[in-house]
């Protein structure tokens, strides 16, 4: 009991994983129930076209409304899901829920791209591409409106396998984004060889654009990505100055608290309407 309490405290501060720790096994059990009991929910963060200011899509971000521990953010439970096969049903639930939501918005006249995050362990699931294809088809979402976001570190875990699986996803028409670019073991040769459509510059660089070296890095990354035929999203835009800087560098899309924090699905239509109104008036 004490071990479990200690572990639950550690949930908030660290992600030191030990699959032999009975307390961790208990939380993994709670997470398994969370999916069945509908305790997971998605918040959606809008993404804008930095040239037109138009909202072009949303990123689905999972949360766990735990009866025991309150609202938990993904950094506190995704690592546990990744340790077990739970990440597969979790990702399935995320894609199922988000594709249906995007279709519901489409019926209300809001045509949005959808981005979902997938983990390295999802890439080891041989049914990944067929499951995602079926979910998108059943929800009525065209594949070219669906982006899977994969982090550099997920790819570096097993690059040859990743190249193979990502290539198959891309072949069936699913779009791929390289998430958190620049903080992992970035390799420009992987950028060249992996079948990405888009690159997301990690918020660490965007949030600290006062720093001249970060300005050089961000401009350079945008130039390289564009040269390789990838579009670029800047994440972590927290104020107007950051937005103007990345837009000035020719970055294509932006996401961040200055534009909007992630929000529950039901707030998205009103938020978009409010955002469009001043544009329509001018």
User: Footprint of ligand C2E on this chain (CB under 6 A)?
Assistant: 45, 61-62, 73-75, 78, 91, 94, 117-119, 149, 179-180, 203, 235-238, 255-257, 262
Indicate the residue among 22 and 241 with the shorter CB distance to ligand C2E.
241
| Residue span 60-99 as binding mask against Mg ion, x where in contact by CB under 5 A, dash where not | ----------------------------------------
State CA 41 to chain mean position distance. 14
With binding defined as CB under 5 A, does residue 149 bind Mg ion?
Answer: yes
Q: Which stretch binds Mg ion (CB under 5 A): 147-155, 181-189, 204-212, 221-229?
A: 147-155
Indicate the residue among 101 and 255 with the shorter CB distance to ligand C2E.
255
CB under 5 to 8 A by kind: which of Mg ion, ligand C2E, none does 78 bind? ligand C2E
Indicate the residue among 169 and 237 with the shorter CB distance to ligand C2E.
237
Q: How near is the Cβ of 126 to ligand C2E at its closest, in Å?
A: 18
């Amino acid at each position: 009991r004490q071990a479990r309490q200690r572990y639950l405290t550690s949930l908030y501060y660290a992600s030191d994983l030990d699959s032999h720790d009975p307390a961790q096994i208990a939380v993994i059990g709670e997470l398994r129930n969370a999916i069945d009991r509908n305790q997971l929910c998605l918040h959606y963060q809008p993404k804008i076209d930095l040239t037109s200011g138009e909202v072009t899509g949303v990123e689905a971000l999972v949360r766990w409304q735990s009866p025991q521990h309150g609202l938990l953010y993904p950094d506190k439970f995704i690592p546990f899901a990744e340790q077990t096969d739970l990440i597969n049903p979790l990702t399935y639930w995320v894609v199922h829920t988000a594709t249906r939501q995007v279709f519901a918005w489409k019926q209300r006249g809001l045509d949005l791209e959808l981005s979902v995050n997938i983990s390295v362990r999802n890439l080891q699931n041989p049914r990944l591409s067929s499951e995602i294809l079926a979910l998108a088809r059943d929800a009525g979402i065209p594949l070219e409106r669906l982006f899977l976001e994969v982090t550099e570190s997920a790819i570096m875990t097993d690059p040859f396998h990743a190249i193979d699986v990502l290539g198959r996803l891309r072949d069936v028409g699913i779009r791929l984004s390289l998430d958190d670019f620049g903080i992992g073991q970035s390799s420009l040769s992987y950028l060249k060889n992996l079948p990405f459509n888009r690159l997301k510059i990690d918020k660490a660089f965007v949030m600290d654009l006062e720093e001249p070296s970060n300005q050089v890095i961000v401009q350079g990354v945008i130039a390289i990505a564009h040269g390789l035929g990838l579009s670029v999203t800047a994440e972590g835009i927290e104020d107007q100055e950051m937005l103007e800087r990345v837009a000035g560098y020719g970055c294509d899309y932006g996401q961040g608290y200055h534009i909007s924090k992630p929000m529950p699905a039901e707030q998205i239509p009103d938020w978009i309407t409010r955002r469009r109104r001043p544009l329509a008036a001018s």
